[in-house]
């Protein structure tokens, strides 16, 4: 499972590699330059790959200041899939992702890096 080494506004470091665009982590895969239908809004179609994965928990980083909003349909899609959804400002989301990963939980991450 990839490990998030560091996060600061506009940059995340995963397994020693810096990324300057929003990212998803699904299983062993890092998906860079993650684009959403609307930049500051999360819809189910933005995370179809996560919803079809075997993740038990999805940790969403809503940005440094928590600007990204999550459509209620995302929570419903996760519930239908039996996946727990947790959302935090990105710094806290990174900590929670690493914590769950270290516990052996199948966790996916979706991180907005700026606002």
Domain around 43: 4-111
* Per-residue pLDDT at 17: 98
3-class DSSP assignment, residue 111: strand
Instruction: Please count the other Cβ atoms lying within 10 Å of the Cβ belonging to residue 74.
Output: 24
Query: For residue 107, is pLDDT > 90?
Result: yes
User: Tell me, what CATH number does 98's domain have?
Assistant: 3.40.1230.10
3-class DSSP assignment, residue 36: coil
3-state helix, strand, coil in the chain (%, to 5): 25, 35, 40
Q: Where are the alpha helices (DSSP H) in the chain?
A: 48-51, 72-81, 90-102
pLDDT digits (tens, 9 = 90+) for 40-55: 999 999 999 999 999 9
**Total count of domains within the chain:** 1
pLDDT digits (tens, 9 = 90+) for 60-103: 999 999 999 999 999 999 999 999 999 999 999 999 999 999 99
């Amino acid at each position: 499972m990839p490990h998030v080494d560091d996060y600061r506004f506009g940059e995340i470091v995963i397994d020693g590699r810096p990324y300057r665009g929003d990212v998803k982590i699904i299983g062993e895969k890092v998906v860079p330059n993650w684009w959403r239908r609307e930049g500051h809004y999360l819809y189910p179609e933005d995370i179809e790959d996560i919803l079809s994965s075997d993740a038990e928990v999805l940790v969403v980083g809503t940005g440094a200041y928590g600007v990204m909003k999550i459509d209620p349909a995302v929570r419903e899609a996760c519930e239908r899939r039996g996946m727990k959804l947790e959302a935090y400002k990105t710094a806290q989301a990174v900590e929670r992702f690493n914590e769950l990963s270290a516990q052996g939980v199948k966790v996916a991450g979706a991180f907005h890096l700026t606002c």
